[in-house]
Chain A
């Protein structure tokens, strides 16, 4: 029987939901959409990118029509086609008008499009359904957990096990709580599974933080049950299919203005789930850039009485032994290595049945998740202290405002801010690697895959993945030796603070490996790896490759 841990309970930092910025935002949703429309409109008018407004509009209509035809989704509104047809008709009709009149119509159309986008993006946060969804997740999961773990009918009402027995929150939870009181928090988690959104929603409420607004992929709203949870957790919608400048600008303005209103936000800076299983290396800079822009505008607008609030970036790393979608993700990755642009969304999260059965498995079998809350940083990636002060590498206090100052004044310089986004993105990636927690299962996968590579030096990746079954096995003693060597290396890295290591990794090698093999991709139809007698047998090279990728980027390959 495992011993009951001392449980931490976090109180809500703002008990009165009325005062949550997100509640305020939801209250005047209409007015907010209006503000977003105005600001996007103004900046789109000034940013021309060498095209006339008419050309920009024509391009937008063209791309939207193409999208509707090539990639329609269930969640798309019914009136899409007539809307774009009407825009196109009016655009064509106005072509022959005198320039001044034509311009007026063009600007009107632009405003209409922006407004439609803003309305589509904006979340539908409802305080009451937030409470319900929150209670449902916590209570429902906990019941399920108890019913299956603790035998007997009364166990349905047992309080013995809670969700936090399953999900370990490590890192700096107190820091994020402190920062959420001082300023606006932007949480940037790694992204491996569609489940991340709900998981993070639970983490946020567990830590006693007010609701965050989310940038969630519109595809998730295809599914009614997800849509319900996402909406009630404060999600706004990001449609990856729309890549036209008008949409992107509207999206960025939405995020930037919400931040300026003090809404804590969350986005997955990797953009989409990691296809290869590797920790995000290159981040999408678009939404990230809104943090920097919002902070600059807040400094521009501050005065002696109303000091600008600070924006804090908090990296979060989620670790699983298992990613439900792994087989499909890695397939996609392999298919399009090098051809990022053209692929079809193939979502395995498409049926409620699959999700339900996954959740059931998740709660009934012993596979844990750990969520590492990183240390808070300012918008340039400098660490901040508990008071929210930015610190330089020597620990001296610096003021982020100075980053926007040129010869004594705050100046607007987009190229400069672009560079800042790059610096921030680099810092977030560094933090990800630091907070990544190595599970025995990750290392088992890494060791096995690298040994296969070593044994077949002549095969390239694709041939290696197709290796015949009779060759896909490794002698256990050899495997153990290599695994121990790598573990030693990882523990060294841990000492230097470059990576985190789960407790079970420190057990005796045989036990830790057994734990790793048992947990590696445990719910896949085909387990990537099994141990039979004195052999380790690889059953699925693709998923093994996927889980092995998690350990890339630490220079371990030299030690095998």
Chain B
């Protein structure tokens, strides 16, 4: 089944912890995996030490800092870079991409294509300004066969070869098939979905709730409180998701509730960690500066807080978290505030 792909490289762009994990899974089934790192130094060090971010890497992986090589020698590419750098990376990669390429990204954040200073009441932030990564790929290149990876995939557990599953979402059955063929092994299940935007939104929005769950854990409020928070958080995710063009069904999937649970209960999650440290009184700026990799949740909170105002969606959790990260409210006060908040509406699946 994989015989065709053995001759060509499979590309992974981004040598962070998730990118490395994806490359390792790919390398188990495929002879040649090309892992792109942004600096020549990092690529060289990966090739030399055969480790990346403290994870050992598979023999089939070759690191490179040459995007042209990635575009020209791979038909299938998995971009896994932070949302803030995604568009820039696509602009650099685009000259080497052709309509035969398949791109399956694993980035769980939004792209903001407008200067934040230009947004005010006259000129509100809209969905047009906020793009998912699949939309960025289509805007910046001639590639149309686009998909995304989403699900409970904590990078460390995958590297430790613990069992897991993920969702490959795409409008194209072909992309889902390719994703399954390349990634599936006896410890890694792949589900398919045609709701690309819905699944992307799941992965992005759950980070907000993960930050909040981290604060609850940090305050030591107990499991009841956390379950309360997560389930209310899911309702909020669905409501925002629907306003932004997703279906409620996607949020019940592995990529929705599945990913939400994993991230909200694990200290391995970066977004959870941000919340946790906030609860311990650390300053948001200090937390971000000290982290090696990006916690997408912080940026997402800011964007969703603004979008919810434009589209008049009630998002008490996001709004409260936004006050915390902009130092307008302490974590303690925030929880007292949320307990008093009249959550009335249950989820509406229509």
Enumerate chain A interface residues (CB-CB to B < 8 A).
380, 382, 392-394, 396, 398-400, 402-403, 405-408, 413, 415-416, 419-420, 423
Considering the chains assembled together, what is the distance between the CA atoms of A408 and B5 in angstroms? Answer: 11
Contacts of B139 in A (CB 8 A): 393
Q: Does B185 contact A (CB under 8 A)?
A: no
Once A396-B95, A407-B5, A423-B144 are accepted as A-B contacts, the answer to whether A415 and B100 lie under 8 Å apart by CB is no
A245 to chain B, nearest CB (A): 21
Q: Which residues of B contact A419 (CB under 8 A)?
A: 144, 171-172
Give the one of B4, B100, B140, B172 with max A CB within 10 A: B100
The residues of B that contact A406 with a CB separation of less than 8 Å are: 75, 100, 174
Tell me, yes or no, whether B173 is within 8 Å of chain A by CB.
Answer: yes
Query: Interface size for chain B: under 10, 10 to 19, 20 to 34, or 35 or more residues?
Result: 10 to 19
Contact yes or no, B144 A400, CB < 8 A: no
Q: Do the beta carbons of A392 and B75 come within 8 Å of each other? A: no
Contacts of B342 in A (CB 8 A): none
User: Would you give 21 A-B contacts (Cβ < 8 Å), ordered by A?
Assistant: A380-B144, A382-B142, A393-B139, A393-B142, A398-B98, A399-B98, A400-B99, A402-B99, A402-B100, A403-B100, A405-B100, A406-B174, A407-B4, A407-B75, A415-B173, A415-B174, A416-B145, A416-B173, A416-B174, A419-B171, A420-B144
CA distance A398 to B144 in the complex (A): 13
Within 8 A of A (CB), among B55-98: 75, 94-95, 98
Q: CA–CA, A286 to B81, complex, Å?
A: 39
Report the separation of the CA atoms of residues A307 and B263 in the bound assembly, to the nearest whole angstrom: 54
Which chain B residue has the least Cβ–Cβ distance from A382? Answer: B142
Chain B residues with CB below 8 A from A415, complex form = 172-174
How many angstroms from the CA of A423 to the CA of B174 in the assembled complex? 16
| A407-B4, A423-B144 given; A402·B98 CB < 8 A | yes
Q: Bound state CA distance, A109 and B5, in angstroms?
A: 45
CB contacts (< 8 Å) of A399 on chain B: these are 98-99
* Across the A-B interface, the 4 shortest Cβ-Cβ residue pairs: A402-B99, A405-B100, A392-B142, A402-B100
- A398/B94 in contact, CB under 8 A: no
Contact partner, A407, options B8, B95, B141, Cβ 8 Å: B8
Contact with A394, one of B94, B98, B171 (Cβ below 8 angstroms): B94
Please report the C-alpha to C-alpha distance between residue A380 and residue B145 in the assembled complex, in whole angstroms.
12
A547 to B139 Cα, complex, angstroms? 34
Complex-state Cα separation, A419 to B171, whole angstroms: 7
In the complex, A399→B100 CA distance in Å? 10
Q: How far is the CB of A74 from chain B (nearest CB, A)?
A: 44
Alpha-carbon distance A413/B98, docked complex (angstroms): 18
Q: Is the CB of B8 within 8 A of A403?
A: no
Contact A392 B174 (CB under 8 A): no
Q: A399-B99, A416-B174 are in contact. List 19 more A-B contacts (CB 8 A).
A: A382-B142, A392-B142, A393-B140, A394-B94, A396-B95, A398-B98, A399-B98, A402-B98, A402-B99, A405-B99, A406-B75, A407-B8, A413-B173, A413-B174, A415-B172, A415-B173, A419-B144, A419-B171, A423-B144
- 8 A Cβ contacts from B130-165 to A: 139-142, 144-145
Q: CA A426 – CA B75 in complex, angstroms?
A: 26
Chain B window 170-192, contacts with chain A (Cβ cutoff 8 Å), 1 for yes, 0 for no = 01111000000000000000000
A416→B172 contact, CB < 8 A: yes
Q: Which residue of B lies closest to A419 (CB)?
A: B171
Closest-by-CB residue of A relative to B145 is A416
Closest chain B residue, CB of each to CB of A410: B100
Report B-chain residues with C-beta under 8 Å of the C-beta of A413: 173-174
For A400, list chain B residues within 8 Å (CB). 99
B1-57 residues at the A interface, CB under 8 angstroms: 4-5, 8
Q: Report how far A403 CA is from B144 CA in the complex, Å.
A: 8
Which residues from chain B sit less than 8 Å from chain A, CB to CB?
4-5, 8, 75, 94-95, 98-100, 139-142, 144-145, 171-174
Give the distance to chain B from A403, nearest Cβ to Cβ, in Å: 4
Nearest-Cβ distance from residue B44 to partner chain A, whole angstroms = 30
- Report Cα–Cα, A65/B141, bound state, in Å: 51
Give the residues in chain A near B94, CB-CB below 8 Å: 394
Which residues of chain A come closer than 8 Å to B141, judged between CB atoms? 392
Residues in A neighbouring B142, C-beta threshold 8 A: 382, 392-393, 398
Q: How far is the CB of B127 from chain A (nearest CB, A)?
A: 13
The residue from B4, B99, B172 contacting A380, defined by CB atoms under 8 A apart: B99
Known contacts A392-B142, A398-B142; decide if A403 and B172 are in contact (CB<8 Å). no
**A253 vs B100: C-alpha distance when bound (angstroms):** 26
Task: Tell me which residues across on chain B come within 8 A of A382, comparing CB atoms.
Answer: 142
When distances are taken between beta carbons in the complex, the residues of chain A under 8 Å from B174 are 406, 413, 415-416
**Residues of chain A lying within 8 A (CB to CB) of residue B98:** 398-399, 402
Contact A398 B99 (CB under 8 A): yes
Contacts of A423 in B (CB 8 A): 144
Contacts of B5 on A, CB cut-off 8 Å?
Answer: 407
Q: Which residues of B contact A416 (CB under 8 A)?
A: 145, 172-174
For the complex, give the distance between the alpha carbons of A54 and B254 in Å: 42
Least Cβ–Cβ distance between A397 and chain B, in angstroms: 10
Residues of chain A lying within 8 A (CB to CB) of residue B173: 413, 415-416
- Which residues on the A side are within 8 Å of B172 (C-beta)? 415-416, 419
Contacts of A408 in B (CB 8 A): 75
Please give the distance in Å from B242's CB to the nearest CB on chain A: 21
Interchain CA distance A420-B172 in the complex, whole Å: 10
Q: Tell me the complex Cα distance, A518–B167, Å.
A: 60
Q: How many angstroms from the CA of A371 to the CA of B343 in the assembled complex?
A: 56
Measured CB to CB, the nearest residue on chain B to A400 is B99
Distance A416 CA – B178 CA, assembled complex (angstroms): 13
Taking the closest CB of chain B, its distance from the CB of A164, in whole angstroms, is: 38
Instruction: Select from chain A the residue with minimum beta-carbon distance to B175.
Output: A416
- A408 and B7 CA atoms in complex are apart in Å by 11
Residues of A within 8 Å of B75, CB to CB, are 406-408
In the complex, residue of chain A having the shortest beta-carbon distance to the beta carbon of B5: A407
Query: Which chain B residues border A392 with CB–CB below 8 Å?
Result: 141-142
Question: Given A415-B172, A416-B174, are A403 and B4 also a contact pair (CB < 8 Å)?
Answer: no
In the complex, how many angstroms separate the beta carbon of A400 from the nearest chain B beta carbon? 7
B99 in complex: contacting residue of A393, A403, A407, CB < 8 Å: A403
Interface-centre pick from A392, A394, A400 (highest chain B CB count, 10 A): A392
Bound complex: CA A402 to CA B142 (Å): 10
Query: How near does chain B come to A285, taking the closest CB pair, in angstroms?
Result: 14
CB nearest to B101 among chain A residues: A402
Docked pose: A413 CA to B172 CA in angstroms: 10
Contacts of A394 in B (CB 8 A): 94-95
Give Cα distance in the complex from A167 to B130, angstroms: 43
How far does the Cβ of B290 sit from chain A's closest Cβ, in whole Å? Answer: 39
- Cβ distance A409 to chain B, nearest Cβ, rounded Å: 9
Nearest Cβ in chain A — how far from B303, in angstroms?
A: 22
**How long is the Cα–Cα vector from A551 to B139 in the complex, in angstroms?**
27
- What's the nearest-Cβ distance from chain B to residue A390, in Å? 9
User: Separation in Å of the A292 CB from the closest CB of chain B?
Assistant: 12
